[in-house]
A = this chain, B = another copy of it.
Amino acid sequence: MQNPSALDPAVADRLKRDEHGLVAAIVQQHGSGEVLMLGWMDDEALHRTLTTGRVTFWSRSRGEYWRKGDTSGHRQHVRSVALDCDGDALLVQVDQVGAACHTGTRTCFEAGGDLGAVVGAVPANDPDHAEEDR
């Protein structure tokens, strides 16, 4: 990982990184809402993602920066990036070229597949109240 990163300090100050200096990055197709994959970013990967129009991850398995699509052509063009309330997750909206998953499926969750969860029924009278959540 590159340190220090050129990431805007106003953004860097808000990140709650894990012990490896990373935050989770959820990648979603703009428009359709498909969740394509989950990747990881350190400060520098986020900086590159915010400033270049292309999504860059930190590859935990290879220990290197990984600009999505450089090998495969399956580029992720950035539409927006949002940080969550506690600073440990990013939502990256993209225009995905081709398959997001290295297995060739559109999303990594198609590749892994459904786990057969019991579907929860929403009670008709379930109150939508506004008490403080935790």
Contacts and interface: CB of A to CB of B under 8 A. Distances in A.
A132 B75 contact: no
A94 B87 CA distance: 23
B128 A103 contact: no
A24 B51 contact: no
B133 A109 contact: no
A75 B91 CA distance: 22
A21 interface: no
Contact of A101 (B69, B104, B133): B133
Oligomer copy total: 2
Contact of A82 (B79, B115, B128): B115
A17 to B, nearest CB: 13
A14 to B, nearest CB: 8
Contacts of A66: 134
A101 B34 CA distance: 21
Which 3 A-B residue pairs are closest in the complex by CB-CB distance?
Answer: A33-B33, A53-B120, A72-B133
Interface of A: 11, 14, 24, 26, 28, 32-35, 37-38, 49-54, 66, 69, 71-75, 77-91, 94-95, 97-105, 108-122, 126-134
6 contacts: A14-B112, A28-B35, A53-B121, A81-B115, A82-B115, A85-B111
